[in-house]
Amino acid sequence: MKTRTIVAGNWKMHTDATEAGNLMEALVGWSAADQGDVQMIVAPPYPFLAAAVEQVKKAADGPSTIIIAAQNCHQEESGAFTGEVSVPMLRSMGVGACIVGHSERREYYGETDEVVGRKVSLLLKHGLQPIYCCGERREEREEGRYRDVVSTQIHTALGALSPEEVAKVVVAYEPVWAIGTGLTATPEQAQEVHAFIRAELQALSGGMAAGIPILYGGSCKPENAEGIFAESDINGGLIGGAALVAEKFIELMRIAQRIKTAA
C-alpha cells in the first residue's frame, strides 16, 4: 500500500484577513495546476477559514484539491462553551481536517491526551481528518525518555478508538524542542521516532499502520526538507513558519512530490 504524502501548513496566530486571502490565492493558483499526488492541507486561523474554503471551491483552473483544516476544535459537539468552536460547525462550513494536540495547545492551554483523544474521536465521527500531534520536550529527549513519552501520548489519545478509526488518523511527530526554534531533528533522529510510532500504531490499527501518514514537524523548511522527506517512515511535513511564505510552502510541496514520486 502506498501511504499518502501530505504537506500541511499551520499558520498559527499569524496573518490578517488580507494576508490570509493573498496567501491562499497563491496556494490555490499553484495547486490547481501542479499539486500532483501530494496532498496539500492548509490550516488558517478560525476567522479566515470560511474565505479559504470559498477560495478553494472557486479555483480558477478547476477545483483545487487543497484541504482546509482548523488548528483546534472543542471536544464536545455543542454547549455552553463561550469562545469555543465545535466540530459540527467546522464540518458545516466545508472544513475537511483539524490539527489536534499541538504542543502549543498542550503547553499554554493545558490540553491532555485524554481531551485530545475525544477530539480525534469526534472529528472521525463527523468525517473530518484528524491530524494528531505528539512529540517530546527537550529534557525528555536529553534524558532518553522520548520513546516512552511518545508511546504514552499515542496510547492515551488513540487507545480508545477502534482499529478502523486509528487507521484513519494522520499523525504528526513534532519534537517540542524543534518547533519554531530553528533546531531540526536530523533525518535519522526523526526516522527513528517515526518508525517507532508506526510500530506502536500497528497494534492499535489492527495491522494497518503502513497506510497511516506520519508527518514530521519542527523547523522544517526547503533547506532541510529533502533529507527529512527521503526517510521511509516520513510521509511529509507539518509546517509552521515556512508555511507563511507561499514560495517556501510551494517549494516544500515540490520537494515532497519529487522525493515521494521517485520512491
Residues classed as catalytic: 102, 174
Q: b vs e for 190-217, b when ≥16 Cβ sit within 10 Å of the residue's Cβ?
A: bbbbbebbbebbeebbeebbeebbbbbb
CB of 141 to ligand PGA, least distance (A): 16
Q: Which residue has the cell 477545483?
A: 63
Q: Which is nearer to ligand PGA, 59 or 190 (CB)?
A: 190
Q: Which is nearer to ligand PGA, 59 or 179 (CB)?
A: 179
Q: Which of 20, 30, 29 is nearest to 251 (CA)?
A: 30
Cβ-closest position to ligand PGA: 240
The least distance separating ligand PGA from the CB of residue 238, rounded to whole angstroms, comes to 5
The grid cell for 31 is 495547486
Q: Binding residues for ligand PGA, per CB under 6 A?
A: 10, 174, 179-180, 217-220, 238-241
Report the residue count for the chain. Answer: 263
CB of 103 to ligand PGA, least distance (A): 7
- Cβ proximity to ligand PGA: between 9 and 117 the closer is 9
The burial class, CB within 10 Å (0-12 / 13-18 / 19+), for 65 is middle
Q: What share of the chain is helix, strand, coil (3-state, %, to 5)?
A: 50, 15, 35
The three-state secondary structure class of 216 is strand
Q: Is 78 exposed, middle or buried (0-12, 13-18, 19+ CB in 10 A)?
A: exposed
CB of 119 to ligand PGA, least distance (A): 16
Minimum CB separation of residue 225 from ligand PGA in Å reads 11
Dihedral (Cα; 105, 106, 109, 115), 10-degree rounding: 100
Give the CA-trace dihedral at 195, 187, 3, 158, to 10 degrees: 50
